[in-house]
Amino acid sequence: MRSRDPRSWMWAEALELLQDAERLQHQFFQIGALHGAPCWEPPVDLYENGNDLTLLVALPGVTPRQVEVVLAPSLIIVRGERSLPANSRRAAIHRLEIPYGQFERRIALPAGQFELVDRRLEHGCLALELRRLT
Protein backbone atom coordinates (compact mmCIF):
# COMPACT_ATOMS: atom_id res chain seq x y z
CA MET A 1 0.00 0.00 0.00
CA ARG A 2 1.32 3.45 -0.90
CA SER A 3 2.15 6.02 1.71
CA ARG A 4 -0.20 8.99 2.00
CA ASP A 5 2.77 11.32 1.65
CA PRO A 6 2.99 12.03 -2.13
CA ARG A 7 6.75 12.62 -1.90
CA SER A 8 7.29 9.02 -0.81
CA TRP A 9 5.44 7.28 -3.63
CA MET A 10 6.54 9.81 -6.27
CA TRP A 11 10.17 9.24 -5.30
CA ALA A 12 9.67 5.45 -5.41
CA GLU A 13 8.08 5.67 -8.87
CA ALA A 14 10.88 7.93 -10.13
CA LEU A 15 13.52 5.47 -8.89
CA GLU A 16 11.70 2.57 -10.50
CA LEU A 17 11.57 4.41 -13.85
CA LEU A 18 15.29 5.18 -13.66
CA GLN A 19 16.08 1.54 -12.91
CA ASP A 20 13.97 0.41 -15.88
CA ALA A 21 15.72 2.89 -18.18
CA GLU A 22 19.15 1.74 -17.00
CA ARG A 23 18.19 -1.91 -17.47
CA LEU A 24 17.04 -1.23 -21.05
CA GLN A 25 20.21 0.70 -21.85
CA HIS A 26 22.40 -2.15 -20.60
CA GLN A 27 20.29 -4.69 -22.44
CA PHE A 28 20.65 -3.00 -25.84
CA PHE A 29 23.80 -0.88 -25.73
CA GLN A 30 26.61 -2.01 -23.49
CA ILE A 31 29.29 0.55 -22.67
CA GLY A 32 32.85 -0.49 -23.55
CA ALA A 33 36.22 1.08 -24.22
CA LEU A 34 37.89 1.66 -27.56
CA HIS A 35 41.63 2.09 -27.10
CA GLY A 36 41.01 3.67 -23.70
CA ALA A 37 38.32 6.06 -25.00
CA PRO A 38 34.66 5.60 -24.03
CA CYS A 39 32.55 3.86 -26.64
CA TRP A 40 29.34 1.91 -26.93
CA GLU A 41 28.80 -1.70 -27.95
CA PRO A 42 26.01 -2.40 -30.43
CA PRO A 43 23.83 -5.50 -29.91
CA VAL A 44 24.66 -8.53 -32.03
CA ASP A 45 22.96 -11.69 -33.31
CA LEU A 46 25.21 -14.59 -34.36
CA TYR A 47 23.89 -17.83 -35.79
CA GLU A 48 25.44 -20.81 -37.51
CA ASN A 49 24.02 -22.93 -40.30
CA GLY A 50 26.38 -25.72 -41.29
CA ASN A 51 29.65 -24.08 -42.35
CA ASP A 52 28.10 -20.63 -42.60
CA LEU A 53 27.95 -17.99 -39.86
CA THR A 54 25.70 -14.94 -40.04
CA LEU A 55 26.43 -11.96 -37.83
CA LEU A 56 23.98 -9.06 -37.53
CA VAL A 57 25.16 -5.89 -35.79
CA ALA A 58 22.56 -3.20 -35.00
CA LEU A 59 23.98 0.05 -36.37
CA PRO A 60 21.10 2.43 -37.14
CA GLY A 61 22.17 5.48 -39.09
CA VAL A 62 25.70 4.23 -39.77
CA THR A 63 27.04 4.31 -43.33
CA PRO A 64 29.37 1.65 -44.80
CA ARG A 65 32.36 4.00 -44.71
CA GLN A 66 31.86 4.55 -40.96
CA VAL A 67 32.44 0.84 -40.19
CA GLU A 68 35.62 -1.22 -39.98
CA VAL A 69 35.50 -5.02 -39.81
CA VAL A 70 38.55 -7.02 -38.69
CA LEU A 71 38.55 -10.81 -38.87
CA ALA A 72 41.03 -12.33 -36.39
CA PRO A 73 41.70 -16.05 -35.72
CA SER A 74 39.04 -16.55 -33.03
CA LEU A 75 36.99 -13.35 -33.16
CA ILE A 76 35.63 -10.61 -35.34
CA ILE A 77 35.85 -6.93 -34.45
CA VAL A 78 33.35 -4.35 -35.68
CA ARG A 79 34.24 -0.73 -34.94
CA GLY A 80 33.45 2.74 -36.17
CA GLU A 81 31.57 5.87 -35.30
CA ARG A 82 27.96 7.00 -35.40
CA SER A 83 27.78 10.76 -35.87
CA LEU A 84 25.03 13.09 -34.73
CA PRO A 85 22.89 14.28 -37.65
CA ALA A 86 24.00 17.72 -38.85
CA ASN A 87 20.55 19.26 -38.25
CA SER A 88 20.56 18.17 -34.58
CA ARG A 89 23.60 20.18 -33.51
CA ARG A 90 21.56 23.33 -32.91
CA ALA A 91 18.31 21.62 -32.02
CA ALA A 92 16.71 21.40 -28.61
CA ILE A 93 17.01 17.68 -27.89
CA HIS A 94 14.02 16.23 -26.06
CA ARG A 95 15.11 12.59 -26.16
CA LEU A 96 18.41 10.96 -27.11
CA GLU A 97 18.28 7.19 -26.64
CA ILE A 98 20.24 5.87 -29.61
CA PRO A 99 23.97 6.11 -28.79
CA TYR A 100 26.35 8.26 -30.81
CA GLY A 101 30.11 8.38 -30.99
CA GLN A 102 32.67 5.63 -31.31
CA PHE A 103 31.60 2.01 -31.08
CA GLU A 104 33.43 -1.30 -30.95
CA ARG A 105 32.20 -4.84 -30.56
CA ARG A 106 34.43 -7.92 -30.27
CA ILE A 107 32.55 -11.13 -31.00
CA ALA A 108 34.05 -14.55 -30.24
CA LEU A 109 33.61 -17.00 -33.09
CA PRO A 110 32.93 -20.75 -32.81
CA ALA A 111 35.90 -23.09 -33.17
CA GLY A 112 37.51 -23.18 -36.60
CA GLN A 113 38.81 -20.77 -39.18
CA PHE A 114 36.47 -18.49 -41.11
CA GLU A 115 36.58 -16.20 -44.11
CA LEU A 116 34.39 -13.15 -44.64
CA VAL A 117 32.34 -13.76 -47.79
CA ASP A 118 29.78 -10.94 -47.69
CA ARG A 119 29.29 -7.62 -45.93
CA ARG A 120 26.25 -5.38 -46.35
CA LEU A 121 24.16 -2.82 -44.50
CA GLU A 122 20.44 -3.53 -44.57
CA HIS A 123 17.56 -2.28 -42.46
CA GLY A 124 19.90 -0.56 -39.98
CA CYS A 125 22.03 -3.67 -39.42
CA LEU A 126 25.46 -4.65 -40.64
CA ALA A 127 25.11 -8.19 -42.00
CA LEU A 128 28.31 -10.23 -42.16
CA GLU A 129 28.42 -13.65 -43.77
CA LEU A 130 31.33 -15.90 -42.86
CA ARG A 131 32.22 -19.38 -44.14
CA ARG A 132 34.19 -22.01 -42.26
CA LEU A 133 37.39 -23.01 -44.05
CA THR A 134 37.77 -26.80 -44.35
pLDDT per position as a tens digit, 67-107? 999 999 999 999 999 988 888 778 888 888 888 899 999 99
pLDDT higher than 60, residue 113? yes
Model pLDDT, residue 6: 67
The model carries a pTM of 0.71
Model pLDDT, residue 92: 86
Model pLDDT, residue 90: 82
Buried b / exposed e across 81-116, counting CB within 10 Å, b at 16+? ebeeeeeeeeeeeeeeeebeebbbbeeebeeeebee
Which is more confidently placed, 127 or 14?
127
Label residue 32 by pLDDT band (50, 70, 90). Answer: low
User: pLDDT tens digits, residue range 1-17?
Assistant: 555 676 676 777 777 77
The mean pLDDT of the chain is 84
